[in-house]
Amino acid sequence: MLPKTAHHDARSPPPSTWNTALTRLFSLLCLYSRCFLSPRLPTVPIMSAAPLQPSFDDLGTSLSEVTFCVVDLETTGTSEGSQITEIGAVKVCGGRVEGEFQTLVCPTGSIPASVQVLTGITDVMVRSAPSLNAVLPSWSEFSRSTALVAHNARFDIGFLQRAYAQHDYPWDDPAVVDTLALARSVLARGEVRNYKLSTLSRLFHTTTTPSHRALADARATVDVLHGLIDRVGNLGVTTLEDLLEMTHRVPQARRRRRVWAKDLPERSGVYWFCLDKPAPAHPEVLYVGKSVNIRRRVSQYFTASETRRRMDEMVRIATGVKARECSTQLEAGVRELRLIDAHQPRYNRRSRRQGSVWWVTLTHEAHPRLAVVQRAHRDSQPPWGPFTSRQAATRAAIILAEAFGLRQCSGAMSRHPDGCPLAEMGRCSAPCLDPHIDYSTIVGFARLAMTDDVRDLTDRLAQRIARLSAAERFEEAAEFTEDAQEVLRATRRRSRLVSLASCPEIVAARRDGASWEIHVIRHGRLAGAGRCRLGTDPMPVIDAVCATAETVSASPAGLPACTIEEAELVASWFEEPGVRLVDVIGEWSWPAHCWMDTNDLAARVAALHHPGHNESDEADSQDRQARPQLAQV
């Protein structure tokens, strides 16, 4: 029940399983792969089916549907030890008053004389008033499921939170709108001399004059709130979330550009900020991004939540923002990569050098060696890699060459009677010294490790790590272990990309909420995307997406017909839970032994340190006998 001094309006409404190691590796690889870029290829727009409208939860709560509880407190002082003497509140929704709450509260001590003069509330007035513990139940019922509003909310809401804590009432953490902070953010400098409630009351011509009594001040705050909402309406503030963002301090020049987001779609897609000067017909693209809700994401660039200096500078010099809807998040990610690659936006840091990748190939010579290149030859098999830098590719090539004894000299082979220093150290098979050596077999085993089977390579890397550890060269062993893992990852990455590129077409789907995401991949490139609602026949939509999908030709070198970054983004989508294959043209498979994880490498090193015979050793022995072997160089 409400206290007898309370007034309550009667119209107020009532209140597929992977093993642990491989899963971890895939997660790391997906993050790691975003660092790899690839040569630019021509981009052709993806034909997409119409995307589904997102749920209303993504759009925010419209201000016309929010029930605000505007509250004001009178207290015995301003310190945390002070007590509440009066609570006044007005509940409004859509501009209509739905209820009022007012009650005096009896404090445990006396009210200071200065406060009695300011508020007019005396000890005699509160002597018969209910205690705070008796008032809180009715107040909690009145303010339930509302957004609290207060002028200088830190003061009023702080007292309420402490009162709830002292009397063991749960605080539901409601949304809080501070009209003081909102006024500071919205009103122009010089429009008012200060932001006191009495000053704002005169500015907005409130029907009630503030008098340092709780209900009167709450009524005045209601009119101030409505006046401030009218001011921000032309800035595209239509939801409670937008209004809360406006309470943060943001430069007015940036705040005014919030209207750019007003007409953007509230769906998944890509957006880009542009600069029309000096050529409006060919604007410069400054920044490209993607989001599940374009309008909401772009709006954040004009609020205090955006703290990056680069983005603040970008928003200040931009002259507009454009967007394009996408059917799926994968399509949005691919479009983002293609736009960045095509326009090279100066404010994007990632994905600008998609052509800066390095590969390792075997040369076409009588005695082949490993070469580091940026582009694969048309007549060669797919190269080994990719690597993020020339240094990384060179280091991997050296490790692979030393593991199998491939020559590393460039040009003509040395005619020195003792060979090169690498031969003297046992790191080169030295075909220059022994013309009868079966160098082609050595090359064959190296090629096998680069393309299909890394088991023998793993054994050789483990032996070197074990030798370094046995010699107590632990730092070198640790560094070489990291390099060895990178070498093993290269074969897996190559297999991942080549297998995807070898298929003329893959059609796959994944459930996303109340619909199916449908993607058409051709030679590793996303060629089409669409959506189909659950409960409907998906085949007409799939046929339409396939019919309108981009025509893609195979890459001459056997690599994906797109940038490596795009291909790995597509491959990561295939590895997400719930993806179902609809149709595959070609053979999509990986070599069975193209990868050895960190645990396998560690186990082989440990076995060399503790050479005991057990079942696992016997299994390893049988495994080694079942595959081709090359004598250790």
Q: What's the pLDDT score for residue 427?
A: 65
Q: What's the pLDDT score for residue 5?
A: 38
pLDDT at 84 over 70: yes
The mean per-residue pLDDT over the stretch 442-451 comes to 90
Domain ranges of the chain: 63-237, 249-343
Give residue 422's pLDDT band: very low, low, confident or very high (50, 70, 90): low
pLDDT at 253 over 50: yes
74, 87, 123, 128, 360 from 111: Cα distances, Å: 11, 15, 6, 14, 83
Q: What's the pLDDT score for residue 423?
A: 65
Tell me the one-letter amino acid at 65.
E
pLDDT at 529 over 60: yes
The mean per-residue pLDDT over the stretch 380-384 comes to 75
The mean per-residue pLDDT over the stretch 139-149 comes to 95
User: 530, 544 in Cβ contact below 8 A?
Assistant: yes
How far is Cα 523 from Cα 301, in angstroms, rounded to an integer?
37
pLDDT at 597 over 70: yes
What is the chain's mean pLDDT, rounded?
A: 83
Total-model pTM: 0.63
Q: What's the pLDDT score for residue 14?
A: 39
Tell me the one-letter amino acid at 486.
E
User: 293, 267 in Cβ contact below 8 A?
Assistant: yes
User: 221, 70 in Cβ contact below 8 A?
Assistant: yes
457, 573, 574 from 452: Cα distances, Å: 11, 23, 21
How far is Cα 359 from Cα 392, in angstroms, rounded to an integer?
10
Query: When comparing pLDDT for 305 and 94, which is higher?
Result: 94
SS (H, E, C) 564-611: HHHHHHHHHHHCCCCEEEEEEECCCCCCCCCCCCHHHHHHHHHHHHCC
Q: What's the pLDDT score for residue 4?
A: 36
DSSP 207-264: SS---S-HHHHHHHHHHHHHHHHHHHGGGT--BHHHHHHHTS---HHHHGGGGGGTTS
Summarised one tens digit per residue, pLDDT across range 12-67 is: 343 333 344 333 433 433 333 333 333 332 333 333 434 444 443 445 788 999 99
Summarised one tens digit per residue, pLDDT across range 470-507 is: 888 999 989 999 999 999 999 999 999 999 999 999 99
**Two tokens, residue 57:** 């939860």
Q: For residue 396, list its beta bridge partners.
A: none
pLDDT at 278 over 50: yes
Give residue 385's pLDDT band: very low, low, confident or very high (50, 70, 90): confident
Summarised one tens digit per residue, pLDDT across range 72-81 is: 999 999 988 8
Q: What's the pLDDT score for residue 291?
A: 95
Phi, psi of 62 (to 5 degrees): -60, 140
**Residues, the chain:** 633
pLDDT at 378 over 70: no
Q: What's the pLDDT score for residue 426?
A: 63
pLDDT at 421 over 90: no
Quick one: the chain helix, strand, coil %, rounded to 5?
40, 15, 40
pLDDT at 283 over 50: yes
Q: What's the pLDDT score for residue 377?
A: 66
Summarised one tens digit per residue, pLDDT across range 200-244 is: 999 999 999 999 999 999 999 999 999 999 988 877 788 898 888
Omega cis (within 30) before 538: no
Summarised one tens digit per residue, pLDDT across range 349-373 is: 989 888 888 999 988 887 888 999 9
Residue 119: strand, helix, or coil = helix
Q: What's the pLDDT score for residue 566?
A: 94
In the sheet where 147-150 sits, what is the strand order? Answer: 96-104, 84-93, 67-75, 147-150, 176-178
Domain 249-343 has CATH 3.40.1010.20: no
Q: What's the pLDDT score for residue 352?
A: 87
Summarised one tens digit per residue, pLDDT across range 101-124 is: 999 999 988 999 999 999 999 999
CATH of 63-237, one of 1.10.275.10, 2.40.128.110, 3.30.420.10, 2.60.120.1440: 3.30.420.10
Q: What's the pLDDT score for residue 23?
A: 38
Q: What's the pLDDT score for residue 66?
A: 94
CA nearest neighbour of 336 among 31, 59, 569: 569
Query: When comparing pLDDT for 243 and 245, which is higher?
Result: 243
Q: What's the pLDDT score for residue 594?
A: 87
Q: What's the pLDDT score for residue 329?
A: 94
The catalytic residues are: 212
By percentage, how much of the chain surpasses pLDDT 70? Answer: 82
Task: Give the list of residues 6+ apart from residue 342 with CB closer than 8 angstroms, or none.
Answer: 40, 43
How far is Cα 321 from Cα 469, in angstroms, rounded to an integer?
58
Query: When comparing pLDDT for 376 and 496, which is higher?
Result: 496
CA nearest neighbour of 8 among 170, 143, 120: 143
Summarised one tens digit per residue, pLDDT across range 311-349 is: 888 998 899 999 999 999 999 999 999 999 999 999 999
